[in-house]
Amino acid sequence: MDRECVALLPRVCEVLAGSGKSLPDDTSLEKLLDWFTGLSETGGSLLEVCPCLLEFISTVIYNTASDPGVLSFTLRLTGLLAATEDSFMILQERSILRLVYDIQHWQEAGLWEDPCIRIGWIQGLRSMLQHPMALHFLVETDLTKPLLQLQTDTSLFVASAANQVLAHIVVFFQPVTSGGCNDLEKKEESEGRTRACIKEPVAMDTDIEHLALTMRTSPGYTAVTMAISEHLKESLVPKENGGLHQSLQSLKLLALLLAQARPPLRDMLLRTVSGSLEALVKTGRSQHTLPLMDVLLAANSCSNTDEHLPDQRVRGLLSSMLDTHKPSDLIHAAAAVLRRGHRDVVHTSKAVGILLLPLDITTGQTLLSTDTTAEQQRFPVAELLQSKTSCISTLCVCLTNTPQITLLPPDFLPCPPVLVVTTVLSLLSICGGHAPSSIDSSKACRNIIGCGKIQKCGLEALTALSTCPGAKDKMSEVFTVLIQYLHNPDSDPTVLQKSYQALVKWMGVCTDLSSMGDQVREDLLGVVKKRVCDMRWEVRDSTVEFLGRLAGLRVCPESAQEVSVSEALLGCSTTPLLVEALCDQESYVRASATSALAQTLARSWQQGAALTQEQTDIVSRLLDILSEDTEGFARRAVVQYFTTWFSSWSSNSPPSSSPTSSPLLMKCVCSVLSQGSSDLDWEVKVHTLQLAELLLDRALPGHRVTPTPSVTYLPHPYAVGSDQAYVPHTHTDQANGARDGGGVKSDQAGVLSSLVEQGVVSALLSGLVDCDRPVALNACRLLITLRDTICPLDTTAARVPCELQGRGWGREIRKVLEKKCNWRREVTDAAPNRWERMQRLDRPGEVDSEGGDVGREEGLGGGDDSVYVSVCEVLRCLGLDERLSVLTQSSDHVQNSPLSLLQDILTASDAHTHAHMQPGQEVIVDCY
């Protein structure tokens, strides 16, 4: 622990112990406890390092007038300290533990009614229960009984926490045996799930196996386990309406236990509660269906290889749940079987039949044979579908499970998977008002006509079904139904969006577009032209996105080269639609149109085709958007458009080719770098830096700086770029020799001059002093790459100049240079110095006859005039490595510390004691 924190902690404890009011920042205590938790995880005793904590706890627990938040914090802190045996004994010797966990003490003080106190009591107990002494204390003080009572607390948080503690007690101290589940991986997965459910606030170095073996014969553990299992047995079946909540909580606890219990414990639990579970299944309460299925599936998922009686009874109960006469419960029970990934032929096949039955009834498709057990439920399910609300909810559950059903082994299915696709298409047709004449106009059909909820679920299912076996045989029918949805004037914008998504997914798996007839192609083109002019901007946006995604899909027709799906289906009709969308009044649509154009033209860029007049006009329009559009979405898309264009050209052009081979592209790139780097939107600037990075890659092939294990800068949490750790390059003779020797163009000055002319250097320097950290961080990394790759000492590149203006980012760079290198003083020195080296550059009319600069007396920071400086010299003097180390830290790295937290608590306390503070006046703290 930091020495300053150790010095401040006693004062903080004194403030908290004497506080009768809550702190201004109600998260301060949580953060303080997080800090203590982190210290305890590193090992050692907190009481040894911070003896003041013992006095603090003793003071607070006797002062019932303390703030409930401070009392709750103290309860949790006590449990955290007692998690180690040494601290536990100290606390027990001072009689602190008995008082802290004495419920009567808090009840007499009138504090137990506050949920804050109860949750602190439970969480403290949970933290403490990490060793046998803590379990002995639990048994000795009979704390199991109040925990079981809190399981039905009126506060859901308290009740859930009580369940977690009860599960932790039984599971953590259970014996270790050689027996286990059918599969070790399944056991480890189960343990991982339980650890995720039961959060462990303290990580102990205790040998868990040794601990469990020690407790195997412990009468205390046996007593606790028996008490909990007997409680479960008695409370699972509600004796009256008031016992329903307790029954549900007991089911949740039982599911937690069975998820990780090993065979001896698991078998004992099942023997104890199997009778209650049978009674619960017979009661048939709908509220019990899902939690009861969780229990049964957890018990059945880790069965022993030996056919134990409990396992047979569990399987029997599972079968009973899938034979219930309540169709709504039946559907949910079947869905639970698939959701939990349960796999056995009997139960999974039965669940599949139950979930397909409503679809069979509604569409008239024969999904089930007459001898299946699901057929016995046909009449009650048909009755259920007569109610509109029940019909919609039931069909949604069934549709959601259809993709998973089609991927099951054939032995589990009552019909071919492709028939499920046909059924979903029929259901969608009925919903869209296009029911085939062969389908009976039943009440169920009338219930779902025009139902948006069914349409959305059905389209999502259809999208996922594109990969099911035999799906390609249904291509034509799928396209017909989806185009009908797109034509439907009553379709909701979300339904249209999902229809487009389904079309893209199915076209992606279509290897032969000839299966789409000419009529389907004409219909698709007509509906796209219609929807791109829709009154609703969401529809226009979805349509434009659809066109872009189609352009990104590639097919290879017979005896032809690869083309985009958009070109194969719609020809050249899409580009004019997208160009028109660039003028849409909604910025989202303009952005989507820009992205779609980039996807549409990417193929021609990769082939190096000459630009058409239409493409040239598009470029002009996009540059106008970048300079004039008031919304950031469209401007971001424009920068990404040119980034994609340059990337496509660069990847298909040899490194030796000159940028002048594509003059319009390079002219646009320079303009984008200039405008994008000065944009007000930080994401536009980040995308601009990505374009600058591509230009650097092109100019310096194979010489990107790579991370080394020496010094690592952690990525900050808001970085837009790569998460890869970046390490600044260090100058070495070997590295310099390698750079001088080859790889980089021999004319380093020419390369650097080109980067200056293109605006890359200006964009990077502008980004370096940007107020948005992601921008500054990316710019700093790229500048270090440029410095270490092309600016070694004593080369011709040292004389390459760039302009620093007297305003904006240029002025900020000049300020940094003055601060770092004291250049204003240097410019007055007579001897040749850095300033003179930077000023003695080839700039006609800028240097006097004696070699002095006309603006020399003003220095770098004076006036508004521009100055020309050596790029390499600037890069060496900006302190880029130091700047990078600062930028990679989080924005609150100064305040995000325990010391700042302690100081904030003290500051807030001092402010409350000042006489001039008005009631209710806010106290500003910088607590992290």
CB atoms within 10 A of CB 232: 21
The residue written with tokens 């032969």 in the block is 512
What is the pLDDT at residue 182?
A: 45
CA distance 534 to 97: 70
CA distance 901 to 12: 10
CB atoms within 10 A of CB 503: 24
Task: Name beta bridge partners: 870.
Answer: 801
Q: Of all helices (H) and strands (E), which one includes residue 212?
A: helix 208-215
What is the pLDDT at residue 797?
A: 76
Tokens representing 85?
């045996």
What is the pLDDT at residue 890?
A: 65
Comparing CA positions, the residue from 866, 872, 868 lying closest to residue 811 is: 866
What is the pLDDT at residue 611?
A: 86
What end-to-end distance do the CA atoms of the chain give, in Å? 18
CA distance 400 to 390: 16
DSSP 847: B
Residues 6+ apart with CB under 8 A from 446: none
What is the pLDDT at residue 302?
A: 64
Helices (H), 63-102: 68-81, 85-93, 96-100
pTM of the entire structure?
0.81
DSSP 918: P
Residues 6+ apart with CB under 8 A from 426: 363, 364, 365, 435, 436, 439
What is the pLDDT at residue 794?
A: 52
CB atoms within 10 A of CB 857: 11
Decide if 66 contacts 19 (C-beta within 8 A).
Answer: yes
Decide if 700 contacts 751 (C-beta within 8 A).
Answer: yes
Decide if 532 contacts 544 (C-beta within 8 A).
Answer: yes
CA distance 150 to 160: 9
Identity of the amino acid at 515: S
Residues 6+ apart with CB under 8 A from 867: 803, 804, 806, 814, 839, 853, 855, 860
DSSP 806: S
Decide if 91 contacts 109 (C-beta within 8 A).
Answer: no
Regions of the chain where pLDDT drops below 50: 178-217, 304-309, 559, 705-745, 824-863, 914-917, 919-928
R_g of the chain, CA atoms, integer Å: 36
DSSP 288: G
Express as a percent the part of the chain with pLDDT over 70.
78
The Cβ-side half-sphere exposure at 301, using a 13 Å CA radius, reads 27
The residue written with tokens 């899909």 in the block is 553
